[in-house]
Structure formats: C-alpha cells, structure tokens
Structure 1
Amino acid sequence: MCLAVPAQLIAVNADAARARADFGGIEKEIDVSLIDEPRPGDWVIVHVGFALNRIDEAQAAETLELLRTTGAADAASDATKGAAQ
C-alpha cells in the first residue's frame, strides 16, 4: 500500500534540499528538493521520504483526521518510523 502523509517542517537545511519534519510527534529528516522555497512551519505531503507538495494547515488537519478515523494512522506511523533519517 502506498501512503503519503502530512508533516510539518521544523527546520530546513541551508541547501534547502533536506528538512526536519514532524509527523505527529515523530521527527524525521526528509528531502524537500521538490518544494519551492521550503520554510519551517510549512505543511507538506510526504511519500517515501520526499515532500511532494505543500498543503495548508486545514488540509493537513483534515487528512490526519481521516487517517485517524480509518485506522490508517497506525500505518502512517509505521511508515514514518522506517523513513530515512
């Protein structure tokens, strides 16, 4: 199953290619090279360690709630645990 999950950027490296992201309390380093001008505080959709696009906070909250109500939140948590550090 492929799953892309919302995460909030905490810090962006000087080269703007990598960032530290918060996945609901789990922090991981991700690739943000596909996002124009990533900034701390941005919400993004992440798939296999890559931020695919920026989303707004309302979209992130809605997606996270849908994941919780469908039980997919556990799968999302498992997916982020295995993401590249």
Structure 2
Amino acid sequence: MCLGVPGKVVKKISEMQVLVDFGGITRAVDALLVPDIKEGDLVIVHAGAIIGKIDEETFNEIISTYRELAEAMREDRA
C-alpha cells in the first residue's frame, strides 16, 4: 500500500522542485510528474514527488481521514 500525503505548494523553487507545506512542516519535493504546478496548489506527495493535484474538498477529506485514523490508533493503544 502506498501512502500519499496532502500538502499545499508554498513556493516554486524551479521547474523541477517546489516547497510544500504539510501542516506546518515544509519540504522541497519533486514537481516533474505533474505539469503546471504553482503556488497555492493542493497536491498529493508520495516518496518525495508530487503525484497529483487535488481540490480543496478532497484535501479536507484526506486530512479528516488521517485524523480519524490517528485517533483510532490512540484508542487502540489505551
């Protein structure tokens, strides 16, 4: 299973690389696989590369699902 992480593009470094904010943690990622990436785009990142653009609704759904999963894991440990 592959895990894609949602983030927001905050700065274009070059045609090949952008900075993406992952909820307060910013990382440089590869932007070669998806054309026309720009500041403000919501994206899915896997293994250090953007693998797709997503809309705000999808972004929020993914974040909500990750939060639910984290909560379930905390409860499972208790």
* CA-CA distance at 1:19 after TM superposition: 0.2
Q: Distance in 2 between matches of 1:64 and 1:17?
A: 26
Q: Distance in 2 between matches of 1:37 and 1:3?
A: 23
Give 1 or 2 for the bigger CA radius of gyration.
Answer: 2
Give the number of aligned pairs: 71
2:7 counterpart of 1:7? yes
Letter in 2 for 1:57: E
Specify every segment of 5 or more residues in structure 2 that has no aligned partner in the other structure, as ranges: 72-78
Letter in 1 for 2:50: A
Letter in 2 for 1:20: L
Q: Distance in 2 between matches of 1:17 and 1:68?
A: 31
Question: Relative CO higher for 1 or 2, CA cutoff 8 Å, sep ≥ 6?
Answer: 1
* CA-CA distance at 1:2 after TM superposition: 2.9
* TM-score where L is the length of structure 1: 0.78
Superposed CA offset, 1:5-62 (max 9, x none): 1010000123x11000000110000001111110000001000100001001111111
RMSD across aligned positions (CA): 1.4
State the percentage of identical aligned residues.
34
Specify every segment of 5 or more residues in structure 1 that has no aligned partner in the other structure, as ranges: 73-85
